[in-house]
Amino acid sequence: MPPARMTSLEMLERLVGFDTESHKSNLPLIDFAESWLAGHGVRTIRLPNAAGDKAALVAQIGPDVEGGVVLSGHTDVVPVAGQAWSSDPYRLRVENGRAYGRGATDMKGFDALVLALVPDFLAADLKRPITIVLSYDEETTCLGVVDAIAALGRDVPRPAAIIVGEPTGLEVADSHKGVAMCETRVTGTEAHSSRITDGASAVMGAGSFVDRLNRLGDRLIADGDATGRFDPPFSTVHVATIAGGSARNILARECLIGWEIRYIPGVDIGALQAQVEEIAREVTAERLTRYGPFGTIENVWSVDVPGLAPDEGSEAERLALRLAKRNRPMTVAYGSEAGRFQAVGLPTVLCGPGDIARAHKADEYITLDELAAGEAFLRRLADELSR
């Protein structure tokens, strides 16, 4: 059993010690969090994925009434493979006012603060509840929070505000772009390159497809950003990987393209996806079936993370600005789970300790001062909900 109390730093040490890279199970961490909460008499709801190797956790502290606040954090982290760490990334190292470890900033620092303060939340005279949500797969699909969102208003009272503790330096972020990721599989028919009418080159088809994606990206740039909030001030199309072909004198049988659209909230991503399907049909006709039924193009949309749209004056924004002692919200460049909460009508902002610029790289760290500031933020929340 965990001890009755742990400092935020001690809690962070425990959480960093769990290797929860997104392709691995997070169950040991969830087991620990569940045990910690149960040890304080807090009821938890475990929400496993279909495979049973990962789970989200929901826990309510305070009265069984609506109008509380959700503190949401993901438990998964990005891989460390190929990164030059100065020490074991899964063993917290504290040095010169910094705590180093994978996930220290993104975002086990916030998770550690929330769990470490459970005894204090319980001791407060909460008039509205604090609900803790720990999710999985944020770094890959942002789907690991979906079942937890469904539990809000069903298994626990519906909250008035959601605070997602992504590292914002305790600034309040009320907007970010959405992300739609796709793998396009271009299939051709092999033939000798001197006999191009006997088949179709998947690589040549892929080249035409990427050219059309560039044109789509140019149109999005021209459309711009009506909100004036985003940098860059437009939606973007980015092709990241292309792989295909076997030899210079063989028409390629297959080519894979990995790419994404990052879109401003309010952009109709369904309409963009429909345009991509039309591009695939046009390229198939022009390049892959010119001389016969020699090829196809298939788009597989693996990730679609909704953006977070500015919601000026929402309960979440007003509350977080008060607690963080800030005058106005900001916009962040990265995606998060926040848009999924907002999509079901829950006012949501990002606000957490640490700097996203340190995330996803070797020697990721959070400062002890940032942890202290985050703890003060959460104590102010408990005070607010006790009035």
Query: What confidence category does residue 285 fall into, taking pLDDT thresholds of 50, 70 and 90?
Result: very high
360 SS3 class: coil
Question: In which residue are the tokens 């909030």 written?
Answer: 229
Residue 239 predicted with pLDDT over 70 = yes
- State residue 227's pLDDT score: 86
- State residue 323's pLDDT score: 98
What is this structure's pTM?
0.92
User: Mind listing the pLDDT tens digit for each residue in 358-374?
Assistant: 999 999 999 999 999 99
Where does the chain show beta strands of DSSP type E? 44-48, 55-61, 69-74, 93-95, 98-100, 130-135, 161-164, 173-175, 178-187, 236-244, 254-263, 296-305, 330-331, 348-350, 365-367
What Å distances lie between residue 10 and 93, 166, 315, CA to CA? 11, 20, 32
The pLDDT of 144-171, averaged and rounded, is 98
The pLDDT of 206-220, averaged and rounded, is 98
Residue 2 predicted with pLDDT over 70 = no
Q: Which residues are catalytic?
A: 76, 138
- State residue 303's pLDDT score: 85
- State residue 4's pLDDT score: 83
Residue 231 predicted with pLDDT over 70 = yes
If phi over 0 gives left and psi between -120 and 50 gives alpha, with beta otherwise, what is residue 197? Answer: alpha
The pLDDT of 206-230, averaged and rounded, is 96
Domains of the chain: 8-175+307-385 (3.40.630.10), 178-305 (3.30.70.360)
Return d(Cα 341, Cα 2) in angstroms, integer.
31
Q: How many CB atoms lie within 10 A of CB 126?
A: 22
Q: What is the DSSP letter of 69?
A: E
Q: What is the dihedral of CA 80, 84, 85, 87, to 10 degrees?
A: 120
User: Mind listing the pLDDT tens digit for each residue in 10-27?
Assistant: 999 999 999 999 999 999
